[in-house]
Amino acid sequence: MTSTFLPSADKRPGPGVDRPPPTADAARGRARRRVLHWLSAVGFQVPALVLFLVLVLLPMLFAVYAAFFRWGGFGMPSDYIGGDNFTRLFQDPVFLGDLWRCLLLVVLSLAIQLPFALAMAVLLNQKLRGRAFYRMLFFGPYVLSEAITGVLFGMIFAPGDGLADQILGGIGLDGLGGEWFADQSTVMATLFLVMTWKYFGFHMMLYLAGLQSVPAELTEAALIDGANAWQRFRSVTLPLLAPTLRISVFLSVIGSIQLFDLVWVTTAGGPDHHSETMAVTMFQYGFKRYQVGYASAISVVMFGISLVFALAYQRFVLRRDLEGATTTMRGGAK
Amino acid sequence: MVVPLLYATLSGFKSTDELSRNPVGLPESWVTGNYTGILGSGDFWRLIGNSTLIAVGTTVLVVAVSALSAFSFARFAFRGRETLFTLFTLGLMFPFAVAALPLFLLLRSLGLLDNPLGVILPQAAFGLPMTIIILRGFFRQIPGELEEAATLDGCSSFGFFWRVLLPMARPALGTVSVLAVVTSWNNFFLPLLVFTDSTWWTIPIGVQQFQGQYSAEYARVFAYLVLAMVPALAFYSVAERQLVGGLTAGATKG
């Protein structure tokens, strides 16, 4: 324990150690000091706590409450309808489609985007000329806002005039181009392409940071033992990179569940709801059609899915990594 | 990777006519009118100003409040500490979209719509979990002996925080500040909800609106996009180390 601002209670010898019998005065003094200590420790938390409770937790809880009402968003909700919003939700083809598209994005990200990011990270971890330049380059898109990215790619994939179609036309493949964002069958693939452009650099950076912590001696030892490049990667690098991979998968899934900006700017969910995500549907009902109760129910389901995933993931996958990182034992495991 | 950016930059130097005839090659004659036209308009600079104001406000608020909280988490043992910390870490999992509706209603009833505080306060609140987690990690690494020495010299706990801990944690504060600036600068959803009046629009909203308004004038939209990217990319090239360090620290430690 590094702190000296401890309540005197924590400095008392443990049970079984002899200590002089406390006088009533000393006991009162200790109790007062302990209260003062607690007050000063908690005092530092007050600004953060107020901000967090009022602007994060309270709205969140209110969304849960509002989900049980038919409510247009004006005044307080009064028309209690029990679980009807949820029943309606799970019969709504658009929302069921949202769930399906969410799953699709999760699977595509895990199966394509992350392995691609890992491959690039391993490549850039070599002693490559211009390594720093490539790192800048691939990570660059991550600092651009979703809005800018969306508008940019909306123009690149514009039917006919956009860069994508012009290039395909130029090499005689006109037939392949076309509607991109505007066609029901291609919109999700196009969206995924843009997502990959935007986010793979972020995951690559995570992996690069993880790779830095893989000791060179281990791969060298494997090399001396006659392991080939794939074996070294498979049996040495990958297991040591596992904590980073688990975090990256977590962030990727949570990101897919909550996707909004990129979709809103490129397609706004169209054509005919074929690229709509849960957040977009929620926005449509809540801010465009003023069915705030129903939109809140969507919020709640979205939160529920995130939370169940997060808790399950933390319980079964992340536990080892987070030990000592997010929970400290009393007494301060440093 | 770089093709879309290069394409946008070059296209900005073309006329829309030329863009449809010659989409890929270098501009026949470098037209600078698209860029200078935007740079000469007050609207664009107002968006930059708004984005800057909001980013700075958010960053100052979230870092100040988080530093106090992280200090208490890192250096004090008190009843309820772990519960409180878990509450904040749970905040990492709250999707902003979930709170968006009630938050909007709350801001409306507080009269904070079309007011920069309506964006700054919620952004700071949603930035708390990540900032607290990162800062707490850094604060715990500062040796306890320093604290003892400061206490012996008559420093109060706040005095230690203000005069010893904060100056020592400058790199960490830099990291979380850069993260906060980038997140705020790129935020689209919240300004979209809060600002109906165009005088307060930020860059991401401006980009979307500009494209809607000039959808036929491709070259102009490209020029606008490129100019809108410049501040973020410039900031990134200056603060790259801090940003990447912060993201990886946040992601692998918490």
Domains and CATH numbers, chain A: 83-317 (1.10.3720.10)
Could you report the per-residue pLDDT of B200-225, keeping only the tens digit for each?
999 999 988 888 888 778 888 889 88
Q: What is the mean pLDDT of residues B93-97?
A: 75
What residues 132-171 of chain A have any CB closer than 8 A to a CB of chain B?
136-141, 143-148, 150-156, 161, 163, 166-167, 170
CA distance B2 to B240: 18
Of chain B, the percentage scoring pLDDT greater than 70 comes to: 96
CA distance A87 to B238: 51
Q: Which of A59, A151, A330 sits opposite B208 (nearest CB)?
A: A151
Torsion of CA A205, A209, A210, A214, to 10 degrees: 140
What does the buried/exposed string (b/e) look like for A236-262 if buried means 16 or more CB atoms within 10 Å of the residue's CB? Answer: bbeebbebbbbbbbbbbbbbbbbbbbb
Beta bridge partners, A79, equal A70
Query: What is the DSSP secondary structure assignment for residue B214, as one 8-state letter?
Result: T
Q: Which of A161, A243, A326 sits opposite B218 (nearest CB)?
A: A161
E strand or H helix that includes residue B77? none
Could you report the per-residue pLDDT of B111-162, keeping only the tens digit for each?
999 999 999 999 999 999 989 988 988 888 888 888 888 888 888 888 888 8
Could you report the per-residue pLDDT of B33-49, keeping only the tens digit for each?
788 888 888 888 999 99
Query: What is the DSSP secondary structure assignment for residue B164, as one 8-state letter?
Result: I
Residues in CB range of B155: below 8 A, 6 or more apart: B163, B164
- pTM summary value: 0.82
User: What's the burial of A224, exposed, middle or buried (CB within 10 Å: 0-12/13-18/19+)?
Assistant: exposed
Q: Which residue of A has its CA nearest to B142?
A: A2
Question: Mind telling me how many Å the CA of B59 is from chain A's nearest CA?
Answer: 14
Query: What are the angstrom distances between the C-alpha of B111 and each of B106, B154, B184?
Result: 9, 45, 21
E strand or H helix that includes residue B78? none
CB–CB of A136/B240 below 8 Å? yes
Do B72 and A45 count as a contact with CB atoms less than 8 A apart?
yes
User: What's the burial of A264, exposed, middle or buried (CB within 10 Å: 0-12/13-18/19+)?
Assistant: buried
Do B144 and A251 count as a contact with CB atoms less than 8 A apart?
no
Q: Rounded to the nearest 5 degrees, what angle is found at the Cα of B119, between the Cα atoms of B175 and B188?
A: 80
Do B80 and A42 count as a contact with CB atoms less than 8 A apart?
yes
Q: Which of A4, A258, A310 sits opposite B147 (nearest CB)?
A: A4
Q: Which residues of B touch A146 (CB under 8 A)?
A: 186, 188, 204
Q: Please choose, from the candidates B147, B183, B173, B148, the residue with its C-alpha nearest in 3D space to the C-alpha of residue B242.
A: B173
Q: Which residues of B touch A206 (CB under 8 A)?
A: 247-248, 251-252
**Which tokens hold the place of A187?**
């919109």
Asked if the C-beta of B110 comes within 8 angstroms of chain A's C-beta atoms, the answer is: no
The series of mean pLDDT values per 10 residues for chain A, 334 residues long, is 44 49 76 82 90 92 91 84 92 94 95 93 82 81 88 83 74 65 83 92 88 82 85 86 87 89 86 90 89 91 88 76 42 32
How many Cβ contacts (< 8 angstroms) between chains A and B?
A: 282
Q: What pLDDT is stored for residue A324 in this prediction? A: 43
CB–CB of B219/B14 below 8 Å? yes
Q: Which residues of B touch A63 (CB under 8 A)?
A: 98-99, 101-102
- Lowest average pLDDT, out of A260-264, B25-29, B102-106, goes to B25-29
Do A60 and B84 count as a contact with CB atoms less than 8 A apart?
no
Amino acid at A283: F
CA distance A35 to B68: 19
Length of chain A equals 334
Q: What is the mean pLDDT of residues B233-239?
A: 87
Identify the residue among A44, A53, A62 best suited for mutation to test binding to B, counting B beta carbons within 10 A and taking the highest: A44
Is the model more confident about B79 or about A117?
Answer: A117
Q: Which residues of A touch B248 (CB under 8 A)?
A: 205-206, 209
3 state SS for chain A: CCCCCCCHHHHCCCCCCCCCCCCHHHHHHHHHHHHHHHHHHHHCCHHHHHHHHHHHHHHHHHHHHHCCEECCCCCCCCEECCCHHHHHHCCCHHHHHHHHHHHHHHHHHHHHHHHHHHHHHHHHHCCCCCHHHHHHHHHHHHHCCHHHHHHHHHHHCCCCCCHHHHHHHHCCCHHHCCCHHHCCCCHHHHHHHHHHHHHHHHHHHHHHHHHHCCCHHHHHHHHHCCCCHHHHHHHHHHHHHHHHHHHHHHHHHHHHHCCCHHHHHHCCCCCCCCCCCHHHHHHHHHHHCCCHHHHHHHHHHHHHHHHHHHHHHHHHHHHHHHECCCECCCCCCC
Q: Rounded to the nearest 5 degrees, what angle is found at the Cα of A127, between the Cα atoms of A121 and A130?
A: 80
> Does the CA dihedral B56-B57-B62-B63 come out positive or negative?
positive
Q: Which residues of B touch A286 (CB under 8 A)?
A: 100-101
Question: Mind telling me how many Å the CA of B71 is from chain A's nearest CA?
Answer: 8
Residues in CB range of A225: below 8 A, 6 or more apart: none
Do B124 and A148 count as a contact with CB atoms less than 8 A apart?
no
Q: At A251, phi and psi to the nearest 5?
A: -65, -35
Do A332 and B122 count as a contact with CB atoms less than 8 A apart?
no
Do B82 and A261 count as a contact with CB atoms less than 8 A apart?
no
Q: At B115, phi and psi to the nearest 5?
A: -140, 130
